[in-house]
A and B are shown apart, each in its own frame.
Chain A
């Protein structure tokens, strides 16, 4: 029963966002601000995770491919496909759910508790539209870009680890990358990236927007938002894999 009530409130929050903006310029300004906060703010962690993710993937694949009949190019093929289909969209988005999700929930929670949201409402501003929508749109624009960057850097990390660790040469790794490439995997990864972006921005926004209480409740809302986002991302990951693959 509580789940249905929460889900209903979430739907109402999303529905409430779609009204005519009071001032397009101000909404655009807020959207750009959120793009910088979400996109540039999370770029550092995405770069670090992606490089190491690809490197570990290359090393572990090489360790398991002991059969001399399996060509060395398989290593780069495995790195490429796992990074594109799973590591870049899912792992990065789960990390971003923690980084961005807690930030969104904390920011909106603090605004709610300190009556800043009420102040905006009394001015005649639709706070769902002004505070929540730019965050979701900014996530939908920047996170897929971060996922693309993660794909490139993940593969690059795998290449660096392979060449520096003496697993395979750069030429063989590059040759493997071009073998048996399925372009649909990129489409699949982007579908996942957009879905996860929506989840990891809207769910924390919902929990932050509806905080009641004080500092303790803001912390609790942030934690709940991150946990709920991660679970929903994993659930959506399975559903998309089952439908699209």
Chain B
């Protein structure tokens, strides 16, 4: 019995490692309160998404988490240690375990791709030049970038800049990876590539990844743990499977903003229930009260006055 209890405790501790906890965080700028008592847990080995409309406070929350903004109240815990009250020396050490991909990539303009990725190694390791270059090539290959070492950031595309940003963020094998809108300014296909790359790297390095996004594709594709924020407050927490069935009106309005997405959601719900693409279940489908409810929604949408006005 004791053996089992010990194992459970050990497993629990393992799950807790590298976890980020946000406890009742408040942040104001002047008289405007941006974050209002936000609490959440960012899980290890998962892609944790912070989503919300513009101005909902997701960027401020992320900046508070990495220490670019100081919180007014509440606490942020890295692996159980309070980052908020941590002395500056300890913070510096912790920051070496944090990688961050910025919205605009934040690459150093005057340095080549290779120098950008090598910079954290130059600053924090005593490796010889060859070992550093080997590591740089390894991470550049990992993000599928080849033959770009000697190019300057201005000479590569937006998607490539993001990859260089990811390579620089993971070069020191960080425990935590933060991404601020990694898809902004990218086409949907490249966005998906970047999303999947982040997810793969998260699993490979067993990192705690926190992504700040309002990209619908990212939410549905890599949202293993999603925090939806509305006007500085935590509105909903779940994952990409649960989001389909969420009854939260604000979340639904945000995620399924277009009619096409609403229809796609309805189809997905029916698919999940296993009652479409199966003719034998059609009778059951018609008898299901939730189906009627959905159809009723569709009828309502079809008869929406705005939509009728647009018809010739």
Contacts and interface: CB of A to CB of B under 8 A. Distances in A.
Interface of A: 22-23, 26, 110, 114-116, 118-119, 121-126
Contacts of A122: 66-68, 95, 98-100, 178
A118 B102 contact: yes
Nearest to A118: B68
A124 B92 contact: yes
A210 B99 CA distance: 24
B102 A124 contact: no
Nearest to B108: A116
Interface string B93-111: 1111011101110111100
Nearest to B98: A122
Interface of B: 66-68, 91-96, 98-100, 102-104, 106-109, 119-120, 122-124, 178
Contacts of A126: 92
Nearest to B94: A124
A123 B106 CA distance: 12
A121 B100 CA distance: 10
A123 B68 contact: no
Contacts of B68: 118, 121-122
Given A114-B109, A119-B102, A124-B91, 10 more contacts: A23-B123, A115-B106, A116-B109, A118-B68, A118-B102, A119-B100, A122-B95, A122-B99, A122-B100, A123-B120
Contacts of A23: 122-124
Contacts of A26: 122-123
B128 to A, nearest CB: 13
Contacts of B123: 22-23, 26, 123, 125
Contacts of B104: 114-115
B61 to A, nearest CB: 15
A110 B108 CA distance: 10
A123 B95 contact: yes
Nearest to A23: B123
B144 to A, nearest CB: 22
A235 to B, nearest CB: 33
A123 B121 CA distance: 11
A203 to B, nearest CB: 23
Q: Which 8 A-B pairs have the closest CB atoms?
A: A124-B95, A115-B106, A119-B106, A124-B92, A115-B102, A124-B96, A122-B100, A23-B123
Nearest to A113: B104
